[in-house]
C-alpha cells in the first residue's frame, strides 16, 4: 500500500456550526514522523478508526462510516466527532485518490497525548491492494474461538466489543493463525457456539434461498458493506435476515461471502475444510454494485 496523502485534523465539537473547517486541517508528508511519543493511539491502541473504500475518486458509503465513527466514539467515551468536519476532510482526501482505480481513506480519532487537552485526529489516503483474485477465485476460511460467550458484550460493555478500535493486535493475530492453518482468513465463533464475523469483514451466508448475516449483537461490528449489499439484495426481491447464527448453520449454507469496504465481496470456497460452491454470477453482481458510486 502506497500512502499518497495525510491530513491532521484539529477536532471540532459535534455541534460546531461552521460550514468550512479548512482552518482545522494541516496537510503533512505521509512518509514523515507526525505523532508524539506520548500518543495513546500508538502506546495503547486507545482510539477508533474507519476505512472507506474509494472507487474512481468517489468515497463510498460516507454517511454510514461517519455514523459508525460516532457510534464507536460514544462507546469509547471519546468526544463526538463533527460529521461536517470529517466529511470535508474525506472530500479533500478523495481528491488525492486515483481517478481511475481503487483506493482507501482511513479516518483515525485517538484519545491523544497522555494527559493532553484534546484528542488527536487524522485522515490518510492510499492506493488499495489488488483484490481481484479474492473476488473472483474466492477464499478459504477457518473458524476461531473468540474466547467469550454471545452474552458477554451486553454484560461487559467496557470490553468495547461493538466499537471499531485501533486495538487490532488480536485481529491480526487471528489472520496469522488462519494462515498457519492453511486458510486465507478466519471467522470468529463464540465459546458457546455462535457465529460472529471475520477479523476485518462481515459474513453473509445463503441458506435455504435467503441471505443471512449474524445479528449485530455479541460484539459484532455492523458492517457498512454488508448493509449496502443487503439493500441491493432487497431491491432485487431477495430475502435478507439478521439472525443469531449457530455454528451448525455454516454447514447448511450453500454459499458464503466475506464482505468489507476495500476487499468488497469475496466468496468463500471452503470453511473448516468443507467445500462450498462458488457462485460466480451472484458474486459478480455483488461486486458490480459495490464498485458503483454509492453515497
**What residue ranges define each of the domains in the chain, with the CATH number in brackets?**
3-127 (3.30.470.10), 132-290 (3.20.10.10)
Q: What is the pLDDT of residue 117?
A: 83
List Cβ neighbours of 150 (8 Å cut-off, separation of 6 or more).
190, 192, 194, 217, 218, 244
Asked if residue 132 has pLDDT above 90, the reply is: yes
Q: What is the pLDDT of residue 265?
A: 98
Residue with more model confidence, 211 or 222: 211
Q: What is the pLDDT of residue 216?
A: 86
Ranges 198-207, 214-223, 276-285: which has the least confidence:
214-223
Q: What is the pLDDT of residue 77?
A: 95
**Residue 178 burial (CB count, 10 A):** 22
**Cα angle value 261/55/263 (rounded, 5°):** 30
Q: How confident is the model at residue 1 (pLDDT cuts 50, 70, 90)?
A: low
Q: What is the pLDDT of residue 183?
A: 98
Return mean pLDDT, the chain: 95
Ranges 29-33, 103-107, 134-138: which has the least confidence:
29-33
List Cβ neighbours of 54 (8 Å cut-off, separation of 6 or more).
60, 94, 97, 102, 103, 104, 105, 125, 128
List Cβ neighbours of 48 (8 Å cut-off, separation of 6 or more).
69, 72, 73, 76, 78, 108, 109, 163, 164, 165, 166
Answer yes or no: are the C-beta atoms of 204 and 279 closer than 8 Å.
Answer: no
Asked if residue 278 has pLDDT above 90, the reply is: yes
Q: What is the pLDDT of residue 227?
A: 95
- Name 88's bridge partners: none
What's the pLDDT tens digit per position in 73-90?
999 999 999 999 999 999
Query: Which segments within 146-263 are labelled E, that is strand?
Result: 185-189, 202-207, 210-214, 240-243, 255-260
Asked if residue 179 has pLDDT above 80, the reply is: yes
Radius of gyration of the chain (CA): 19
Asked if residue 3 has pLDDT above 80, the reply is: no
Burial class (CB in 10 A: 0-12, 13-18, 19+), 88: buried
Asked if residue 222 has pLDDT above 90, the reply is: no
What's the pLDDT tens digit per position in 34-49?
888 899 999 999 999 9
Mean pLDDT to the nearest integer, 109-120:
90
Asked if residue 2 has pLDDT above 80, the reply is: no
What's the pLDDT tens digit per position in 282-293?
999 999 999 999
* pTM as predicted: 0.95
Q: Find the Cα–Cα–Cα–Cα dihedral 116, 118, 124, 129, rounded to 10°.
A: 70
Amino acid at each position: 500500500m502506497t500512502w499518497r496523502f495525510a491530513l491532521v485534523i484539529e477536532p471540532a465539537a459535534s455541534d460546531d456550526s461552521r460550514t468550512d473547517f479548512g482552518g482545522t486541517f494541516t496537510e503533512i508528508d505521509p512518509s514523515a514522523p507526525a505523532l508524539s511519543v506520548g500518543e495513546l493511539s500508538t502506546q495503547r491502541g486507545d482510539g477508533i478508526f474507519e476505512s472507506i473504500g474509494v472507487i474512481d475518486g468517489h468515497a463510498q458509503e460516507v454517511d454510514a462510516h461517519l455514523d459508525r465513527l460516532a457510534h464507536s466514539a460514544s462507546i469509547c467515551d471519546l468526544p463526538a466527532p463533527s460529521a461536517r468536519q470529517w466529511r470535508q476532510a474525506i472530500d479533500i482526501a478523495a481528491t488525492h485518490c486515483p481517478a481511475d482505480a481503487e483506493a482507501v481513506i482511513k479516518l483515525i480519532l485517538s484519545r491523544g497525548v497522555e494527559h493532553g487537552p484534546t484528542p488527536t485526529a487524522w485522515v490518510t489516503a492510499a492506493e488499495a491492494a489488488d483484490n481481484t483474485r479474492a473476488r473472483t477465485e474466492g477464499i478459504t476460511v477457518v473458524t476461531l474461538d473468540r474466547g467469550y460467550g454471545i452474552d458477554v458484550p451486553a454484560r461487559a460493555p467496557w470490553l468495547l466489543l461493538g466499537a471499531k478500535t485501533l486495538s487490532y493486535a488480536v485481529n491480526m493475530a487471528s489472520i496469522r493463525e488462519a494462515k498457519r492453518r492453511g486458510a486465507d482468513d478466519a471467522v470468529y465463533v463464540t465459546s458457546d457456539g455462535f457465529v460472529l464475523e471475520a477479523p476485518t469483514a462481515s459474513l453473509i451466508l445463503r441458506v435455504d434461498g435467503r441471505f443471512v448475516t449474524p445479528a449485530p449483537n455479541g460484539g459484532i461490528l455492523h458492517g457498512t458493506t454488508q448493509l449496502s449489499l443487503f439493500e441491493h439484495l432487497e431491491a432485487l426481491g431477495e430475502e435478507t435476515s439478521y439472525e443469531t447464527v449457530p455454528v451448525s448453520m455454516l454447514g447448511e449454507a450453500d454459499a458464503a461471502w466475506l464482505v468489507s469496504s476495500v476487499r468488497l465481496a469475496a466468496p468463500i470456497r471452503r470453511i473448516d475444510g468443507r467445500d462450498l460452491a462458488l457462485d460466480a454470477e451472484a458474486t459478480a453482481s455483488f461486486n458490480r454494485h459495490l464498485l458503483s458510486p454509492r453515497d
